[in-house]
Amino acid sequence: MNDEKKQLAKQLLFVFFKIGLFTFGGGYAMIPLIEREVVESKGWIDEERMMDVIAISESTPGPIAINMATFVGYHTAGVWGSVLATLGVVLPSVIIILILSGIYTAFRSNVWVGYAFMGIKSAVCVLLINNIIKLSKQFRGKFNAALVAAAAFLLLAFLNVKGIFVIMGAIAAGIITELAHIDFINGGKADDPA
């Protein structure tokens, strides 16, 4: 591995360690922070590639934040980049869980601890809503994608369809509409993109 890749791999370890250390609420809460760091701050990938990373990370087995770290790390600095980015995002959680597991059992009935967790839950909700708003901006001019997203939301939220079936259906709908160049907003076939 050349010196530039080594430096990038070290930066990936630090950046993803920082994200893992200061993010509460799991992988979905990490998405806006990962995007801010790797797209806006570091410029390692562009917004379009970030959307691909989110889609692939969501549809592959495992936690989304770990999958995103692995994909971004590999894209940025190869195999060692993916290893160190993944280690960076996982290590803070392991350390914190080891420390807090003993403390929490001693203080879980404390009213102030309950209040602190209520505040953390509220902040996580805001992060998730912010992420939904940011992701929905990518649908501008892409009516088919917005329609698939709305259908997926309805299936998950109101009909209790299992997530795996919604993901598989969304994949199928995306492939079919793109291959057939179907444009639902115009009621027929879209113009040939070529």
SS3 string of 87-119? HHHHHHHHHHHHHHHHHHHHHCCCHHHHHHHHH
Is the pLDDT at 185 greater than 60? The verdict is no
Q: Are residues 146 and 110 in the same domain?
A: no
Report whether pLDDT(38) > 70: yes
Buried b (16+ CB within 10 A) or exposed e, 147-166: ebbeebeebeeeeeeeeeeb
- Same structural domain, 124 and 153: no
Domain-ending residue, one of 78, 97, 130: 130
What is the average pLDDT across 90-113? Answer: 81
- Of 130, 154, 186, the residue at which a domain comes to its end is 130
> Does 40 map to a domain?
yes
Q: Are residues 26 and 89 in the same domain?
A: yes
Regarding whether 122 and 145 lie in a shared domain, the answer is no
| Residue 4, pLDDT score | 82
Confidence label for 85 from pLDDT (cuts 50, 70 and 90): very high
**Residue 189 structure tokens:** 């076939």
pLDDT recorded at residue 186: 54
Residue 14: domain span: 3-130
The model's confidence at residue 91, banded by pLDDT at 50, 70 and 90, is very high
Instruction: Decide if 135 is inside a domain.
Output: no
The count of structural domains within the chain is 2
- Overall average pLDDT of the 51-80 stretch: 87
Give yes or no: residues 146 and 126 share one domain.
Answer: no
> For residue 27, what pLDDT is reported?
72
35: which 2 tokens? 């995007």
- Write out the H or E segment, with its range, that includes residue 189: strand 188-189
**Spatial CA neighbour of 190 closest among 153, 141, 150:** 141
The model's pLDDT over 122-168, given as tens digits with 9 standing for 90+, comes to 888 888 888 778 777 776 667 777 788 888 889 988 998 998 899 89
Distances (CA, A) of 176 to 50, 93, 149, 150: 23, 40, 15, 17
The whole-number average pLDDT for the span 108-127 is 83
Using the predicted structure, report yes or no on whether residue 194 has a pLDDT greater than 50. no
Share of the chain above pLDDT 70, in %: 89
Tell whether 136 is covered by a domain.
Answer: no
Instruction: Tell which of 109, 130, 151 closes a domain.
Output: 130
CB 155 within 8 A of CB 166: yes
What is the C-alpha to C-alpha distance for residues 21 and 5, in angstroms, rounded to an integer?
24
Same domain for 92 and 162? no
Residue 22 lies in a domain: yes
Structure-block tokens of residue 13: 């370890």
Whether the pLDDT of residue 181 is over 80: the answer is no
